[in-house]
Every structure is written in structure tokens, then in C-alpha cells.
Amino acid sequence: MSGGEPTSLVVCVNPVQGPRKQCCGGLGSERLAEALEQGIADRRINACLDRVLCLNNCYRGPVIRIGAGGRFFFNAAPGDVPRILDALEAAAGRRALDDSDMVYPGG
């Protein structure tokens, strides 16, 4: 369990497309970002997801990075989400349980 500042998971969602350039947004990175956000919440990973417009690896997209200067995932696909979440959880830990995580019968 971790109680410190959340680790950032950075996902490029640049929508630029053209005959000479294909960017992450056009390759499904928004759907990846949504799946990763859901996984972060479900696993209570001590992380937040940040969408950015460029990670300077357009030809290797979709591109995802753990933290500032952390591990990159290139050519990410939906099947990579569990592996990315595993790496993120190893780097960030989990959020501690608090009252908002508890479910009370009848209330």
C-alpha cells in the first residue's frame, strides 16, 4: 500500500493525422486511456492518468509512459492493458482503503 503522491501514467492522445504522419490519437490511444483509467480505479493503484498531446514517438504509437522519465510502452494495444497496469502497480503501489471504499449494508 502507498500513501504518497500518485504516480503519473502519461498517455499520448495527439489527434494529428496526415499522409506523412500518424499520431497516437488516430491509433486508438483514447480507448486505451479509458481502459487504463478503469483499471487504475479497479485495482486502487496509487496513480493518475494524464492525457498529453505528444511524447515525441509518433511512429511508435500509441505511446504510454509511467511517470516523468519512466518506462515507455510503444505500439500499445488493448491486449497490453493488463501488462501496463501490472508495471504501474509495481511502480506506484496501491491506495490505502478509506471510508469511500467501504460499502455498508442498508446505507
One digit per residue, the tens of pLDDT, for the chain of length 107 reads 555 788 999 999 998 877 777 889 999 999 999 999 999 999 999 999 999 999 999 889 999 999 888 999 999 999 999 999 999 999 999 998 876 655 556 65
pLDDT at residue number 69: 83
Look at residue 103 and tell me if it is in a domain: no
Look at residue 51 and tell me if it is in a domain: yes
Is the C-alpha dihedral spanning 79, 49, 85, 76 positive or negative? Answer: positive
Look at residue 2 and tell me if it is in a domain: no
pLDDT at residue number 37: 97
C-alpha–C-alpha distance, residues 4 and 13, integer Å: 27
pTM for this predicted structure: 0.84
Look at residue 36 and tell me if it is in a domain: yes
Structural domain of residue 54, as residue ranges?
A: 7-59+76-93
pLDDT at residue number 100: 62
C-alpha–C-alpha distance, residues 97 and 95, integer Å: 6
Specify whether the CB–CB gap between 73 and 80 falls below 8 A: yes
Query: What's the Cα-to-Cα distance from 33 to each of 1, 18, 58, rounded to whole Å?
Result: 23, 22, 16
pLDDT at residue number 96: 87
pLDDT at residue number 104: 59
Look at residue 66 and tell me if it is in a domain: no
Look at residue 54 and tell me if it is in a domain: yes
Specify whether the CB–CB gap between 67 and 88 falls below 8 A: no
Specify whether the CB–CB gap between 71 and 83 falls below 8 A: no
Query: Would you mind telling me the total number of residues written for the chain in this entry?
Result: 107
Could you give the number of structural domains in the chain?
1
